[in-house]
Structure 1
């Protein structure tokens, strides 16, 4: 389309790689799609730009057809950055373990319990085996009449049949757990953060790996799509038992952030215009996708220039802005309510949404 520079539309340099172009397109598509408030015409133009620059032949023709010869003024190149410092690199938080209230309550080597439970509990089975053994010993030690002998034998056979059935279920459950462990091994992290373009995502990945994986049931995922989506709609997800946290990593201005009941972000008492989040919609989508799983959303904010970020304590709200330190303390405590459980069905469902590798 004459008058529109595809490189400027996607926000990439003219020597951008195919991966950079794809990442930029995915990021813009999340906010420009008609379903989230964009216009059909603008979204079609975005698709046209991506399809052109993603195809080597079409890109070469585009670069040579005169479109790139248009003057590019400083005003056109300038992006609205809301006061960001492009040279500033946020640093990971320094957390003392004494400041993490759940840290010493967790045994990182605890035995993992897998859900759903497909076999009987061990204690009732052992009690039944013990009762059957006692019944056998009593019958052998005591001289029984013909009637009592018949009753004794009937009880032995009935109890023995139940024990055999329970043992078969134990074996089947153990085999299922063993196959699950064999398939995924000791892996705790799945997918890759967008480290090339987003320092904030890399910092969050390091944060999860360093602290949250102390919980033996935690599984961390990077780069997920919503169900029925092809885009990377969620930066990170942390699953422990039947609790799931969706995380967006943002590099935003220092200040004090809160979210209202509709999930709208406020900074220093004013609606925040320097960025947006789709987490409220994402949380609702995953709640419908994973019935029985508690889902929360966290906007993890790193400063985009020198200064501090602060947030207000918001309890168990569905979506909350948080600092990295608050994320470790509060989300870790929330997940630590059931620290050594892995729900196979929820795990497989979330893993299927990972789009990065």
Structure 2
């Protein structure tokens, strides 16, 4: 029985254009994503199909070997070879992958599908890039808050999630600005921006912060979250703005929430202090269907978006 082709996985004819491949992938990725109730095996098949067909060189090789895809010695870029590299089915009662497990690279290095161009030694690094000085005015405050975030994430998150990869200083695809930090683990991406505010109680109403009659506008992270979700349909993308205190107290400032606003609800961006950030990011990254996965194509694209 002939295995489904990459074109079948995306529901496309072999004459599909690059634009049609991209549109079909976004549609199929959303439909099959495990976070949205899809089948993990089907999602992997859709992701591999896009990785092969979106690159003109790998698509050309695949098209040339298309007729021999079922031959025993013609396994390059085939759906069958990808399925063989996937984890075997779990026995009843056997636990699923845990965020504390040894990272699994997808595609696996050394496999026929590992054509992302990202060197393995780079993919194995947990931290990429450093906060860089940008602009003239206020650079000191930016460096301070970004350094606090890097310290917090590298000490409180990365050791407990070996698959997590932190990328610092990304160009925002939504405007000419930057995204301070991104954390990728499994098929989840957390975007993190920050503020440095005095100690005390602030109230968050879902749009602005309030303190003693003063209104504080947080960074506009939501457009970047929405745009990154469009660019990375294989991932679940959510944003956080962490409010740091100058003395590094993780529980200050205190963030209260307006009545009717659910801080645990679904929102594109959450505003939290450092202690709550650690708790929410851990929950977000570890509760996905494959938290010990390093999705190499997504990591490669994030690294390409770092500022220099």
Q: Shorter-chain-normalised TM-score: which range?
A: 0.5 to 0.7
Task: State the Cα distance separating 1:268 from its structure 2 match.
Answer: 3.8
Among candidates 343, 347, 352, match of residue 295 of structure 2: 343
In the alignment, is residue 236 of structure 1 matched against residue 186 of structure 2?
no
Among candidates 157, 174, 177, match of residue 212 of structure 1: 157
Structure 1: 5+ residue runs without aligned partners? 1-114, 120-159
Residue equivalent to 2:274: 324
Among candidates 206, 209, 228, match of residue 266 of structure 1: 209
- CA distance in 1 between partners of 2:244 and 2:204 (Å): 16
Task: State the Cα distance separating 1:162 from its structure 2 match.
Answer: 5.8
Structure 2: 5+ residue runs without aligned partners? 1-43, 50-69, 86-106, 134-138
Note the 1:50-199 alignment, pairs <5 A.
Answer: 174-176=109-111, 180=118, 182-184=120-122, 186-194=124-132, 197=140, 198-199=143-144
* Structure having the larger proportion of residues in helix: 1
Among candidates 192, 198, 222, match of residue 247 of structure 1: 192
Deviations along 1:203-244, one digit per CA (max 9) or x if unpaired, are 110111112112121100111112276x55111111112211
RMSD over equivalenced CA pairs, Å? 3.5
- CA distance in 2 between partners of 1:332 and 1:314 (Å): 16
SS in 2 for 1:321: strand
- CA distance in 1 between partners of 2:214 and 2:225 (Å): 21
Deviations along 1:112-157, one digit per CA (max 9) or x if unpaired, are xxx67759xxxxxxxxxxxxxxxxxxxxxxxxxxxxxxxxxxxxxx
Structure 1 stretch displaced more, 281-290 or 170-179:
170-179
Query: How many residues in Structure 1 have an aligned counterpart in Structure 2?
Result: 198
SS in 2 for 1:272: strand
Residue equivalent to 2:167: 221
Among candidates 309, 328, 348, match of residue 253 of structure 2: 309
Contact 2:174–2:223 (CA<8 Å) still a contact in 1?
no
Contact 2:171–2:177 (CA<8 Å) still a contact in 1?
yes
- CA distance in 2 between partners of 1:337 and 1:173 (Å): 22
Task: State the Cα distance separating 1:269 from its structure 2 match.
Answer: 7.8
SS in 1 for 2:244: strand
Task: State the Cα distance separating 1:282 from its structure 2 match.
Answer: 1.4
Structure with greater Cα Rg: 1
4+ residue runs over 3 A deviation? 115-119, 160-174, 176-181, 255-261, 268-271, 304-308
- CA distance in 1 between partners of 2:277 and 2:168 (Å): 16
SS in 2 for 1:175: coil
Task: State the Cα distance separating 1:181 from its structure 2 match.
Answer: 5.6
- CA distance in 1 between partners of 2:172 and 2:283 (Å): 26
TM normalised by structure 2 equals 0.54
TM normalised by structure 1 equals 0.47
- CA distance in 2 between partners of 1:349 and 1:267 (Å): 37
Task: State the Cα distance separating 1:300 from its structure 2 match.
Answer: 0.7
- CA distance in 1 between partners of 2:238 and 2:181 (Å): 12
- CA distance in 2 between partners of 1:291 and 1:271 (Å): 38
- CA distance in 2 between partners of 1:211 and 1:304 (Å): 19
In the alignment, is residue 353 of structure 1 matched against residue 295 of structure 2?
no
- CA distance in 2 between partners of 1:343 and 1:336 (Å): 15
- CA distance in 2 between partners of 1:257 and 1:289 (Å): 34
